[in-house]
A and B are shown apart, each in its own frame.
Chain A
Amino acid sequence: MATVSEGEQRVWTRKDLIGLEDLSRDELDMILDTAPQFLAVSERESGIKKVPVLQGRLVVNWFYEPSTRTRTSFELAAKRLSADTLTMNVAASSAKKGETLHDTLYNIEAMHTDIVVIRHSAAGASRILAERHPSHIINAGDGAHEHPTQALLDAFTIRQHVRRTRGDGRAGLDGLRVAVIGDIAHSRVARSNVWGLTKLGASVVLCGPRTLLPDAFTRLGVDVTSDLREAIDGADVIYVLRIQMERQSKCLFPSIREYIRLFRIDNESLKAAKPDALIMHPGPINRDVELSSEVADGPRNVILEQVTNGVAVRMAVMHLLVNKPRVTA
């Protein structure tokens, strides 16, 4: 019944999702509040895990960097919304032939795309495209800058867990302490999570080797430390980053053995943590490097929940971007 308003109607207005730095807390909440209905779609016992929300639309996954998890998650999200999907294999594309990013996207758009999901090694690539092109652009990781849907699914996973354990369907992240451990300097996941978590009311402590822990982060209102025990003491969530071997240069990174000794999350180091602290990881895990197997498979981990929630959160983002009102007030 439309004639009786159901409280304040929030309306999504953005064309693109570039980074969580751009979003207000209200916009973050809108995405997180839209996701549960899509989670329910994936969990239907009838097995029909599909809704007609993006029927007939075209979603292009355009990945300049290797990715299995994120790409398949976006692809599945699009398919569960009934969209058509296309994956651009960049190794075989015209990038090698010298075509510019803009020209490649003009060519993709000539096929009448609705959403373009892009991962690129250059920070800001998705923003540059979003400003010039009519497609809805979703940043699936741009260099060491942002990976917004990862941080959204992380926040959603934490919120779901808090709501379940407290039995409070309205609980948020306010007052939680999240420790992010690893190579902070090279991590777009850490950057997006700092923006997302702090806007949602959590406090964040970043921890890693001094050389991989830029002081600039303190200006974003987070704590930084190189002492693992100090970081995880009192933390409600311990977020373990993947050590990105492919991005390391010898002068910044100590040695794997030293990293394991000082920063690995295992049963020994977890003695300094709350017994019910959540263990999260964006995947893929380097087993027994940043995270020991006993913890990765242990009762506190929600790593596979993150993967499940990722599809629902990406469905929510695509729905909001495409189905936003044609004319905004």
Chain B
Amino acid sequence: MNEADNSPEMTVVMDHEAIDAALRRIAQEIVADSEALSDVALLGILSRGRPLAERLAACIEGLTGTRPRVGSLATTLYRDDLRSGRVPATVGNETHFDFDVDGMTVILVDDVIAAGRTIRAALDEVMDYGRPQRIQLACLVDRGLRELPIQPDYLGWSLATAPNDHVAVRIREIDGEDAVLLERGVSSAADEETK
């Protein structure tokens, strides 16, 4: 799949500046929405949601002086497509947060929302850890194709796509650069992981 990322037909939907601006706007919206940022926790969905959650936390700290707590959600054990035999490719990709979610505003952070199935799994996982006051969702890109009634509360960019379009998100901390790339009509729907 990596070869496809480098093909000339890929359109850059968001570059570093656009991603940065979107995250800053989302941070402002979270600040405006939250009564007490000390009660806000950002849970990044592994793997690319985690660095996005860290960046949002840094933006929020820059705006208010308060840094929300940040953790990671793997969602692996709650997926509805467990029969893939997939093994975590890298060790350390486990759910981890060292705070209690009881009474908190938990904001799930992910790079792309499509089907909504990952978020469904994340909701179940978070609720096994405690009872948050509320749970919200922040996504960098919404590519449509929803299969469940789940919508982001904070969104960077909305992108109308077909199932066989290929959307690639690259995040500096993981991929060495920031970019959202779109290639029309290349991959079969079966190649795409349902999100």
Contact = CB atoms under 8 A, between A and B. Distances in A.
B129 A48 contact: yes
B129 A169 contact: no
Contacts of A36: 91, 94
Given A37-B77, A46-B130, A169-B91, A5 B195 contact: no
A326 B77 CA distance: 18
Interface string B70-86: 00001011100011111
20 contacts: A1-B168, A1-B195, A3-B1, A3-B5, A3-B191, A4-B1, A4-B2, A4-B5, A4-B168, A4-B175, A5-B1, A11-B84, A11-B85, A34-B88, A36-B94, A37-B88, A44-B128, A44-B129, A324-B83, A325-B83
B162 to A, nearest CB: 14
Given A1-B167, A4-B168, A323-B85, 6 more contacts: A2-B1, A9-B87, A37-B76, A37-B88, A52-B77, A323-B82
Contacts of A8: 89
A6 B93 CA distance: 11
A12 interface: yes
Interface string A24-53: 000000100110111011001110101111
A204 interface: no
Contacts of B192: 2-3
A40 B85 contact: no
A252 B33 CA distance: 76
Nearest to A5: B1
Interface in B26-54: 47-48
B33 to A, nearest CB: 26
B101 to A, nearest CB: 8
Contacts of A326: 83
Interface in B99-144: 100, 111-112, 124, 128-130
Interface string B59-73: 000000000000000
Contact of A52 (B92, B94, B124, B130): B124
B166 interface: yes
B5 A320 contact: no
A140 B168 CA distance: 45
Given A37-B94, A169-B91, A11 B82 contact: no
Contact of B90 (A7, A41, A324): A7
Q: Taking each of A1, A6, A7, A50, which has the highest tally of chain B beta carbons within 10 Å of its own beta carbon? A: A1
B195 A10 contact: no
B85 A51 contact: no
B151 interface: no
Contact of B128 (A5, A38, A50): A50
A226 interface: no
Interface of A: 1-13, 30, 33-34, 36-38, 40-41, 44-46, 48, 50-53, 169-170, 319-320, 323-326, 328
B175 A325 contact: no
Contact of B85 (A7, A12, A37): A12
A46 B104 CA distance: 14
B130 to A, nearest CB: 5
Nearest to A44: B129
B169 interface: yes
A106 to B, nearest CB: 25
A40 B72 CA distance: 13
Contacts of A2: 1, 191-193, 195
A3 B7 CA distance: 14
Contacts of B76: 37
A1 B48 contact: yes
B55 interface: no
Given A1-B48, A3-B1, A170 B91 contact: yes
B25 interface: no
Contacts of A34: 87-88
A40 B78 contact: no
Contacts of B5: 3-4
B82 to A, nearest CB: 5
B155 to A, nearest CB: 16
B167 A3 contact: yes
A325 B147 CA distance: 23
Contacts of A10: 87, 89
